[in-house]
Structure 1
Amino acid sequence: MTTFVTSDRESRSGTATCPGAGPAADPGADPLAGLDLPPLPELREASTADARALSRVLFARLAELEEGTHAYSYVRNTLVELNLALVRYAVGRFRLRSESREDVVQVGTVGLIKAINRYDLGEGTEFPTFALPTIVGEIKRHFRDTSWAVRVPRRMQERRLTLAKASARLEQTLGRGPSVTELAEQTGLDEDEVVEGLVAANAYKTSSLDYHAADEEGESFLARRTGAPDPDLEKVENLVSLKPLVEALPERDRKVLDLRFGAEMTQSEIGAELGISQMHVSRLLSSILRRLRDGLTEPA
């Protein structure tokens, strides 16, 4: 993946370039000559406050420069480096699996450059507030365009590629779509493995149930066939999720839950059953329910 950001040394030496930059000017010339700027800090080590203050000054200067000139490229490159922390923050909000963090940072940097190109200092919005949605949107588009719609094991992803290549070759030779047996002979896989790979390939891209043409009543065919949402489904999911959490509780806590929600006893009745006060039962229930709630909402 192409790296758009140059090093600090390159930027401050006047030799940094950005996509779309014009021909380089005299390396000894200062592109920011005439602008009352404090000495540029090490950009990757600049504090948040310094980065914001310096960014405002550089955006004001950028608005005065002609796009495509070396000075314009220099100032924009400096802004990119100065605000790379925004990209790293945005990337940190995603759980990366097979993707390299560096690749995602580069994707986010594309979003940062787009934000710099569109930002208008006169609007009064702080640049981080303006840029973050653009950076996050660029990363989300990358995942949408390169990721599977439904997560499947890597071996199945590789099998889909193998079958897709074999299918393309056979279609050229046969003049029609190949059968499962023909794909098995071509790839050396068992027919069951071919079928499994073809089914898994359906997870690469999904379509909405509303994608197909609707009937006269405005309801799509697939939506009508699948029926209405089951209001009790969420309750079943919660119960299944709760089961291992409840099993992990101490025996007394499970007993308290059983008496309260199974036998539907009052706190006073539970206290009498266990030989403790009603207030103690209340505290126990609050603690137990809080642990179960935290367990349900905790990220996997």
Structure 2
Amino acid sequence: MIAQGGVSITDGALDAAAQRYQLAVGHDGAAVGRARDEFVTALVPFADRLASRYRGRGVPYDDLCQVARLALIKAVDQLDTDRGSFTAYAVVTVRGALRRHFRDTSWDAHVPRPVQELTLRLWGVADDLTRELKRPPSRAELAGRLGVATEELTAALLASDAKAARSLNAPVTGDDGAAELGDLLGGPDQELDGIDDRVTMRDLLARLPARERRILALRFYGNQTQMEIAEATGLSQMHVSRLLARTLAWLREAMLSDTPPPFPGVDEPVDGDLAIEVTHSGGLTVVAVRGEVDADNADRLRAAVTHCCRHAGTGVRVDLRRVPLVDAAGAAALARAYAVAHARGVDLALLEPNPTVTRILRVTGLGHLVARTRRVSPSAAG
């Protein structure tokens, strides 16, 4: 029941009230404003009743009432009873305004209009089917009742989740009582955490000599064995193994350093051969070695040092400052030379090996030669 001018009218009498309002406006132009105000005031309960049908869908009821009343005022201003029922026109106008309000203001995420409208229909159909079937309806049943394809129904279901987004800063109940939603979502992203390491590694790889870069690529990208890499590069398998170990050790050290250290052995012969230079000064013979000592060239080192021990005057100094690595074969060559020097009473000493070579010499029993090392003069070292 609604009242106009103190007279109660029902929904069925809206059309008659609209006709009387239109006649009153036509006969008395001076009373248009008063008659309009009275007619609109009488229609307010009708608008509120239409708005109440959309209550509980995420929009405050007061906002719905305001939208419905404004839409009803628009219907009154466009009143023309000659075109048909005012009640039907008012219902269509108000419902359209309410649906547009839901579409434009109640969605936290942007959703296309057809999907929004289907979502609004979906809520009512889902409730009806649940009551009829006494259980939640399946997707096929919902799509059949709505008359849409399964893909459209899926889009509407997803849009339902996007209608009301929760803030990541929303408080949630936690053990400490002060947790936020964002604190409980997700976890460490290893790919994201590793960006700095990947960028650093890319720069370090660019610093490597071409040979070492190729070996790393064949091993870790080509998934080749050391023997296959040796065949591809023309090196021995043992030499490939040492180059890999040296390169990986340098990369580990460089990753942990603010300033990458110089790559060891960059000035050794490109073909991996051993450079040996013999000089003499004041009775001392100095054997300056450059490059890695391995099974491929250990015999050359053994022959050179042994020859010097046999023909030296007072002593032999083997300068190892430019030797990045000595393998078991190289240590055996030095041991053989020491045996010759000891038999002849020649003082043999190893000069300034790096920490890696020093550890190898100590493990192989040649540490006492390093302990006896005496620096040679610059002129003697050449």
| TM-score of the superposed pair, with normalisation by structure 1 | 0.35
Over alpha carbons, which structure has the higher Rg? 2
Higher strand share: 2
